Amino acid sequence: MLRVGLSGGIGSGKSTVAGRFRELGAVVIDADQLAREVVAPGSEGLAAIVERFGDVVLEEDGSLNRAALGAVVFADPQARRDLEQLTHPRIAARTAALVEAAPADAVVVHDVPLLVEKHLGPGYHLVVVVGADERTRLRRLMETRGMTEDDVRSRMAAQATDGQRRAAADVWLDNGGTKEALVAAVDSLWHERLVPFERNVRHGIRATRSDDLVLHPHDSAWAFEAQRLLERLRLAFGEVAVTADHVGSTAIPGLVAKDVIDLQVGVADLRAADDPALLERLSGAGFPRPADAPRADNAKADGQWPKRFHAGADPGRQVHVHVREAGSPGWRWALLFRDWLRADDVACREYAAEKARLAATGMGVGDYADAKEPWFDGVHERVEAWARQTGWEPRHGWEPEHG
C-alpha cells in the first residue's frame, strides 16, 4: 500500500486532482468529508459538541450550526482546543479504519487541506501539492464561488504560503493552465511514479536505477528533499536512531553531483539495525534493504567500516540510506568530509574537477565510487588537519539543517 498526502491552497484545483485520482483507481479519503461525518446528526461527535457548547450550536433540525460554532471557537482559543479534542480523535480513528479497509495494493490518497500547516507530511510516502499563483486562484474563486476579493485574501492569509507548500511537496502539480493539462499531469504521475512506487513498497524492493553516470549542477531543492526524507526515516527508526544527516555530494552547495540523496542514520549499536521489526518498518516506509546491499564501506584509513544500507523504493527519487554506529570512523568521516567541502571552496573545486574527469571516461555508476578512492586517500590528511585547526566536532541529533 502507498500512502499519498494531497493538499493545496484554496482555489488551487485540489478537488480536480482528487477526483482524477479516484477515477484512476486510488482510494481517496477526504478529510473535510470525514470532519462532517463525525458531527453528523445522531453522531457521538455531535452529542459531545452539544454537551460542551450547548444547544446554541444546533440548527432547528438538530444538525450542527457551523456558523454559530465557528463564532464561539474562533473567538476563544481554549474553546477551539476543546473542539479539536472532541473531533480530531474521531476523524483520526475514521481515517485509520478506511486505510485499514483499503486493499493491500491500494494507492491511498489522503486529501488534507491543512497538511502543510499541521506538518503531516512525514506520515506519507509522498506528498503531492496542487499549486497556482495567487492571481489565478483569486480569479477562480470569485468567478466560481462568488466570493469577494476580501474574503478570498482573508482565507489565503490564514493558510500556508506557497514557499511553505513547495518545501513540503515531493510533487508540485502546477495548475496555472487548463484543466486538461492538470489531468494529464495527474495521469503521468499515477502511471510513472505512484503505481510502480506502490508495487516496490509492497514487495520491499528498491526502485530501478540506471548505471549511466550523469553529473548535475547543484540543485537547492536537494536540501529540502533530504529534510523530508529524514523526517520519514525518523518515524520509521523511532528511538533506535540517535542522529540523522544529509551527506554526500548533494549536501554540498555548489558541487556537481549524481541526482542521488545520500542520508546517514547513526545508531547506538549496529546490531539494532538488523532487527526484523525495524527492517519491516523501513521497508514499509519505502526504504527497503536491497538483497545485494553492501555490509561495509571501503577503507579510508583503518580497514572496513561496517554499515547497513537501504535504498529508496520511489522511482521518482533515488535515495541511499547509510546506517552506521554513531561515533564510529565511517560515521565521523561522512560528516567531516561533507563539512570540509562546505567550508573549503578550493577543495570543493578540486573534487568537482575529479568528478568531471572520471565522468568523461564514460564509466558507469558501479565503477565510479571505487574510482574516487585514490582521490579520497590523497586528501585524507588535509581533511584531518582542517578538523584539528578548526576544532571541528560532529553535530549530534535530529535537528534540521534547513528550515
The pLDDT of residue 291: 80
The pLDDT of residue 295: 52
- Give the percent of the chain with pLDDT over 70: 94
SS3 labels along the chain: CEEEEEEECCCCCHHHHHHHHHHHCCEEEEHHHHHHHCCCCCCHHHHHHHHHHCHHHECCCCCECHHHHHHHHCCCHHHHHHHHHHHHHHHHHHHHHHHHHCCCCCEEEEECCCCCCCCCHHHCCEEEEEECCHHHHHHHHHHHCCCCHHHHHHHHHCCCCHHHHHHHCCEEEECCCCHHHHHHHHHHHHHHHHHHHHHHHHHCCCCCCCCCCCCECCCCHHHHHHHHHHHHHHHHHHHHEEEEEEECHHHCCCCCECCEEEEEEEECCHHHHHCHHHHHHHHHCCCCCCCCCCCEECCCCCCCEECEEEECCCCCCEEEEEEEECCCHHHHHHHHHHHHHHHCHHHHHHHHHHHHHHHCCCCCHHHHHHHHHHHHHHHHHHHHHHHHHHCCCCCCCCCCCCC
Q: Which residues of the chain have pLDDT under 50?
A: 297-302, 402-403
Going by C-alpha positions, the residue among 132, 153, 136 that lies closest to residue 144 is 136
- 11 annotated to bind ligand: yes
- Give the burial string for 376-395 (b: 16+ CB within 10 Å, else e): beebeeebeebbeeeebebe
The pLDDT of residue 294: 59
Phi-psi region of 401 (alpha: psi -120 to 50; beta: other; left: phi over 0): alpha
The pLDDT of residue 77: 87
The pLDDT of residue 139: 76
Report the distance separating Cα 2 and Cα 183, nearest Å.
Answer: 20
CATH fold for the domain made of 221-390: Beta Polymerase; domain 2 (3.30.460)
The pLDDT of residue 125: 98
- 15 annotated to bind ligand: yes
Q: Cell numbers of 376, please?
A: 579520497
Query: What pLDDT digit, counting tens, does each position of 301-349 carry?
Result: 445 789 999 999 999 999 999 999 999 999 999 999 999 999 999 999 9
Grid cell 444547544 in the structure block, residue:
55
The pLDDT of residue 297: 47
Query: What pLDDT digit, counting tens, does each position of 65-83 carry?
Result: 988 888 888 778 898 899 9
The CATH-assigned architecture of domain 2-203 is 3-Layer(aba) Sandwich (3.40)
The pLDDT of residue 375: 94
Cα dist from 33 to 95, 110, 163, whole Å: 11, 11, 27
- 14 annotated to bind ligand: yes
- 266 annotated to bind ligand: no
- 7 annotated to bind ligand: no
Which residues does 372 contact at the CB level (< 8 Å), separation at least 6?
354, 355, 358
The pLDDT of residue 72: 85
- Whether 311 and 260 have beta carbons less than 8 Å apart is answered as no
The pLDDT of residue 255: 97
Query: Where exactly are the structural domains of the chain?
Result: 2-203, 221-390
The pLDDT of residue 110: 97
The whole-model pTM stands at: 0.88
